[in-house]
Amino acid sequence: MAQAKINAKANEGRFCRSSSMADRSSRLLESLDQLELRVEALREAATAIEQEKEILLEMIHSIQNSQDMRQISDGEREELNLTANRLMGRTLTVEVSVETIRNPQQQESLKHATRIIDEVVNKFLDDLGNAKSHLMSLYSACSSEVPHGPVDQKFQSIVIGCALEDQKKIKRRLETLLRNIENSDKAIKLLEPSKGASSKTLQQNAESRFN
């Protein structure tokens, strides 16, 4: 009888220790789950800052190369460019980097996709119209919407092999390039009647913004 009580006491102690360890493990897991949410929120916030930086730089470039900037006096233009350059310099002081975790296949896919886009960008001066059409087909390959034109199937398969974050960045880069081309086209159409500016010269001015 006494032995039975001793055994029962020992079992009770083991049960208490086991229950305490399970509770502690559960609390730790809950803490890590909460931290994971905060980590993801941090990455999203940093990514948003990265995108805002890109947008600000693009807007500053757009103002510097706008038609309005060409239709003011040299003195006013110089003053505005100084302000724009100051804003650009301050924007560039903001350094935010969100590293994407990739496996070897995703890394190779990203390099391949980047190389294809770079090759198109390098052809801007030679044939802007054809380069724009090529970029449109690349962009359609990244879009989830019904494409309005041809889709580069090979590029699409390459992008699918990239990490999800890289897919979003590739699409954003293509959007930026297409906007820059559109702005350059508008500037060319506005300037040709009044100044007879050549599209070659304007494309050279814009090319520095495309990368």
**Tens-of-pLDDT digits for all 211 residues of the chain?**
555 555 555 555 555 556 688 888 889 999 999 999 999 999 999 989 988 998 899 889 888 878 888 888 999 999 999 999 999 999 999 998 888 889 999 999 999 999 999 988 888 777 778 888 899 999 999 887 766 778 899 999 999 999 999 999 999 999 888 887 776 665 555 444 444 444 444 444 444 444 5
Residue ranges, CATH 1.20.58.890, the chain: 104-193
Q: What is the pTM of this model?
A: 0.63
Which of 187, 188, 110, 175 has its CA nearest to residue 139?
175
CA distances from 26 to 42, 119, 170 (A): 24, 53, 40
Q: 96: which residues sit within 8 A by CB, 6+ positions away? A: 46, 49, 50, 53
Tell me which architecture the domain covering 104-193 has in CATH.
Answer: Up-down Bundle (1.20)
